[in-house]
A and B are shown apart, each in its own frame.
Chain A
Amino acid sequence: QTVVTQEPSLTVSPGGTVTLTCASSTGAVTSGYYPNWFQQKPGQAPRALIYSTSNKHSWTPARFSGSLLGGKAALTLSGVQPEDEAEYYCLLYYGGARVFGGGTKLTVL
């Protein structure tokens, strides 16, 4: 069974920079896994942020960026705002199936 692993929790100061990562149990994550990133706040539906590794949706704030880093997909937040406190999920493509990571709870403190 394929497992996608994210940091369970991270803490960042307002104005700071933080990188969340997404690893696959099958090996290095490449662009062929079409990494997606989503933000979810309590009681709300997920909101799409990034698709195909680094592409932003029209509503994605400029401070969010996606990349591949050391064999993982990565989401970097630069100039973190208090409203960025949320759960973040990655999604990877496995030739028909998709698998979500377990999520990273980002605290802004």
Chain B
Amino acid sequence: QVQLVQSGAEVKKPGASVKVSCKASGYTFTGYYMHWVRQAPGQGLEWMGRINPNSGGTNYAQKFQGRVTMTRDTSISTAYMELSRLRSDDTAVYYCARGSPVATILDYWGQGTLVTVSS
């Protein structure tokens, strides 16, 4: 069965960087995109971007351009999302979600990783 297992909660200081991992299993990792979505406390979902694990190609939401980097390690079927120059309003739960390369289909989601930014 398809599973996306994310890394554990993080606490970071303003200005630091965080790197969240998402390990995929139960399907061919390079056959599907990986999207990253975040949700601030009490707020809605926000699409951050996606990576094509096959080519490494990325699309980032304009809001995060220059601060976010999405990468992958195909040898261990793991996608990564790194966010730099953290601010307090980056405090959120970060999710990975599998996406179909044909049309826009986000089907399976990770359990989420809470990133807290606090001095």
Residues of A at under 8 Å CB distance from B?
Answer: 1, 34, 36, 38, 40, 45-48, 51-52, 57, 87, 89, 91, 93, 96-103
Contacts and interface: CB of A to CB of B under 8 A. Distances in A.
B114 to A, nearest CB: 11
B110 to A, nearest CB: 7
Given A100-B47, A102-B44, A103-B44, A93 B104 contact: yes
Contacts of B46: 100
Contacts of A87: 44
B107 A57 contact: yes
A101 B109 CA distance: 18
* Chain A contact residues: helix, strand, loop or mixed: strand
Contact of A45 (B61, B107, B110): B110
Given A45-B112, A89-B44, A98 B104 contact: yes
